[in-house]
Structure 1
Amino acid sequence: MEASATTAPNEHEAVAKPAAKKTASRSVSKRRSFKGLSLEQRQNERREKLIEAGLQVYGTQGFFSVTVRDVCNEAKLTERYFYESFKRSEELFKTIYLRLIEQLQQNILAAVMQSKAEAKLMIEAGLTAMFKSLQDDPRMARILFIDAILVHEMHGNTINEAVSRFDRMIQAFMMLMFPKKPVPKTDLSLLSTGLNGFVTHIAMRWVIGGFREPLSQVLAACQVAYLSILQWMEKEPQD
């Protein structure tokens, strides 16, 4: 009888321990996963919400008129989640800026590659894609061609890298148009930078002016530089 009495509590205890472990395991699982999403997935989801919110408020109100709280209100998140992904507003702005630059470049490249393999048509397609992208999304236009110039932290490497990307894209485009033309690489590089600056300043004026000039007029102005260089490159080399 004594042995039996002693054994019973141990059996209950043995049954209770696995149950306790299962409860603890479920508790940890709930902390790690919510609505089928892992902690990392939820963090990425919140980050994307902040980026989209930043695009909206920066692109409509301007960087200097927006606070972290404004971004969080737009994203419907608390401020602690902002600092989970970004150290400060400038870091969010930089992320949005680089994403928009990449998007704009992809739009231009896609348009050029889809056009007929004729230099003038490729020029028109690329420029149209660029300016239509800005016109269709004024938020992109404002961030890239107004606020990016004004935000101090954007000066230096970030803007220089974005400019270099477009320089390289234009140079590749010119080499595509004239694969057999013996133009020194350094000349193409300088010409590409010049074309980039020409179009960028026209774009800045157009955006700052609220897209006042008709798109056709802006495109015609930009094509002047491209077509002039095109004409120069088509000439036979002089003896």
Structure 2
Amino acid sequence: MESQGRRYAGEPDSTRAAGRRLRLLESGLELFGTRGYRATTVRELCSAARVSHRTFYQEFASTEDLLLAVYASCLDRLVEVVVAAIPLDAPDLTGTFCSGVDAFLSEIRADPRLARVVWFEVLGVSERVEAAYLGRMEEFTAFFGGLLDAWGLTFQVAPVTRTVILRMLTGGISHVSMVWVKQGFEEPQAQIAEAIVRLLQACAAMLVQLDETLPERPSE
């Protein structure tokens, strides 16, 4: 039999390493999402994850690297719950929007730590974190575009115009979510969801119906 590496208490090294990394991600979510990224030290992260400083630096070069990993895992969670909530047999696009938006908002509300990391703790950290933030926003823009494509909609706008409109949609939903979180979820979720669905409907209709030919600029 091929060697599977050293084992501790019946577990191979790879399993133990994966467990340590997962605990660090969980401690990062807990501390960054409650105390804040800038107020959290490596010592506190290691204590919460029950790992040594050496182990931390074997997994992450810095707390910023851990923040990026936690941020990515939070957004992956949001995408997963939205995709899982979208019915394969939805009778229309509105039904798809309603299911996805409700799942999105429910996940945010269920875990305020996730919301704080996604919309607050990654802001103003460094150019690298800003680039990661913008990159993920572009992924959500592409996600919305793919959703519309899946419904076979025919667009009457140029690709660049389409991308800009979808970016505005992404930014609008992100800002609404950010304010909702910051205000402690005061506004009823159903009303937030209805407004976002209406925005999605409006953007879809705009992309389908908008005439790319703009009126000529009056001569001076």
Greater relative contact order, per chain length (Cα 8 Å cut-off, separation 6+): 2
Q: 1:155 aligns with which of 129, 136, 148?
A: 129
Matched, 1:39 2:6: no
Structure-2 change in CA distance of 1:88 and 1:225 (3 Å): same
Aligned-partner SS, 1:167: helix
- Structure 1 vs Structure 2: percent identity of aligned residues? 24
Shift of 1:194: 1.1
Shift of 1:115: 6.0
Name structure 1 gaps, 5 residues minimum: 1-28
CA distance in 2: counterparts of 1:88 and 1:153, whole angstroms? 15
Aligned-partner SS, 1:191: helix
> What amino acid sits opposite 1:200 in the alignment?
S
Q: What is the match of residue 168 of structure 1?
A: 142
CA distance in 2: counterparts of 1:238 and 1:201, whole angstroms? 28
Q: Judging by fraction of residues, say which structure has more helix.
A: 1
Contact kept? 1:53, 1:71, Cα under 8 Å: yes
Contact kept? 1:54, 1:96, Cα under 8 Å: yes
Matched, 1:217 2:169: no
Shift of 1:183: 4.2
- Normalization by structure 2: what TM-score? 0.85
Q: What is the match of residue 93 of structure 1?
A: 67
- Normalization by structure 1: what TM-score? 0.78
CA distance in 2: counterparts of 1:192 and 1:180, whole angstroms? 15
Q: Give the 5 Å matches for 1:184-195.
A: 184-195=158-169
Structure-2 change in CA distance of 1:236 and 1:91 (3 Å): closer
Larger CA Rg, structure 1 vs 2: 1
- What are the Cα deviations for residues 55-102 of structure 1, in whole angstroms up to 9, with x where unaligned? 111112111121111111111222222112111111111011111111
CA-atom RMSD, angstroms?
2.5
Shift of 1:37: 2.2
Q: 1:228 aligns with which of 199, 202, 205?
A: 202
Q: What is the match of residue 116 of structure 1?
A: 90
CA distance in 1: counterparts of 2:44 and 2:80, whole angstroms? 30
CA distance in 1: counterparts of 2:91 and 2:131, whole angstroms? 35
Shift of 1:140: 0.8
Aligned-partner SS, 2:34: helix
Contact kept? 1:115, 1:121, Cα under 8 Å: no
After superposing the two structures, state which structure 1 stretch, 149-158 or 96-105, moved more.
149-158
> What amino acid sits opposite 2:194 in the alignment?
A
Q: What is the match of residue 56 of structure 1?
A: 30
